[in-house]
Amino acid sequence: MDLNLKKDRNVRRKPSIDVSSLVYGKIPPQAKELEEAVLGAVMLEKGAFDTVIEILKGECFYVEAHQIIFSAMTRLAGKSMPVDILTVTEELKSMGQLEQIGGPFTVMKLTNMVVSSANIEAHARIILQKFIQRELIRISGEILTESYEDTADVFDLLDSAESKLFEVTNNHLRKNYDSIDRVLVNTMKRIEDLRNKGDDITGVPSGFPSLDKVTYGWQPTDLIIIAARPSVGKTAFALNLARNAALHPRFARGAAVFSLEMSSGQIVQRILSAESEIKLEKISRGKLEEYEMKKLMTHGIERLAKAPIFIDDTPALNIFELRAKCRRLVHNHGVGVIIIDYLQLMSGSADGKGNNREQEISKISRDLKGLAKELQVPVIALSQLSRDVEKRKDGNKMPQLSDLRESGAIEQDADMVMFLYRPEYYEINTNEMGESNKGETHVRIAKHRNGQLDTIKLRAVLEFQRFEDDGSLENPGGGGNPFTGISRPQQGGGGNDEAKLYIQKGSKMNDMDFDEGFEDAPF
């Protein structure tokens, strides 16, 4: 009997196991004490809420009661009321959530956690850091779960993951304000650089001197809308802009073309037609004479061999995919201008499902403007016009800002809105003097946030998919660009093996290698 008792005592004396090593879950990143300190400081000192609201949102708090209290504070601030213990308590009562957070004692206890708001900004940033960590854990868990599903498309998963991560960045990591002295230094440096440059073009050249005289080139961070009725020549004009920028001797950056309407092959055929002065119809059908084939090789392919033009023909491209692709193009290839053909074919959501089409277009235009600011490059988006132009009874078919299709937000978000108008499109074949106006194209700048409004006349030679400064048809082609006056830099080599454009096909399989996704496609 004694022996058994002794054995029992020995069992009891065994050291206890550390249970922390057996815990399967992990506590999410959090800072409860700092949350209490921030909320308490806001109720103690006037103006503290203004500091916090620039950093935090209600969802950033880990404790649900703290989220509710911060929501009450936000409502008070929205009504221009003071934020203190009494007002917060009353607001929680009116919201019917006072008892849910633990009653008035919980609100009063928060002010005991802090003496002043001296370090409130640092505390708020730590809370934000913990929230972002929790969001990354949540998103990673969702991606992990979805990745195990056999029915999930891997590229849809990539798009979803990228859009979720971008949403965290876009909603919670915002740029702070700059003091004027700091901005002045950068502004004066830019002015000095432009002054020493001695060139009227301060942005990306369009290749049309009469247009550059008004715009000074496409400016970084600008969203430019080019709108017209179907078959007026929007795509041809946009491709002229891409080609002129990429081949300009003083503009060393490339152009990206996102074509939602045509395939990359059709786009390249149009560029070849404009460069070689061979009719697009003959190139498309392959009905070329021997001398035309030689001309295509020497005046088309050879010149375009090293042109930094990047083409993506992914159909139904959404704004999340576009943003990701543009970032890689700018970062990896130094692209200096982005062209989208055309805006109404884009999708505003990653799943391709939108609620109201007008709201979706509004979101797309806002995001395109944000993209231009983020990447510091001009974004040129083509847009369709509504049929209201055709319904006018006064005979004036020149497009107006109100004719932009599907959303007035396009007009608001754009830094520049340009309309293409060809009189012969409406069977007006002579001008006021009775002279033929074949190919005459009016480029009307209807909105210019940072410059003057004007109408520039160009001439469309659509059989060659090209636009020219009005009156320059007499200038024959051959060496260089006949409608811009730009002389091409000599391209090395002369064989077909060097004739390459950078093309990303519509298949998302090409996105697997982000550094080499824009594969070289030999002709």
Cβ(265)–Cβ(523) below 8 Å = no
Q: Which residues contact 137 (CB under 8 A, 6 or more apart)?
A: 28, 29
Cβ(441)–Cβ(459) below 8 Å = yes
- 142, 261, 358, 498: which one is catalytic? 261
Amino acid letter for position 382: L
Q: Which residue has the tokens 């395109």?
A: 368
Q: From CA 374, how far away is CA 365, in angstroms rounded?
A: 14
Q: What is the CA radius of gyration of the chain?
A: 31
Peptide bond before residue 425 is cis, with ω within 30 degrees of 0: no
- 374 among known catalytic residues: no
- The alpha carbon of residue 433 and the mean position of all alpha carbons in its chain are separated, in whole angstroms, by 46
Q: Which residues contact 418 (CB under 8 A, 6 or more apart)?
A: 224, 225, 226, 227, 443, 444, 445, 446
Q: Which residue has the tokens 């030689």?
A: 294
Nearest to 414 by CA among 450, 385, 457: 450
Q: From CA 320, how far away is CA 304, in angstroms rounded?
A: 30
Catalytic residues: 261
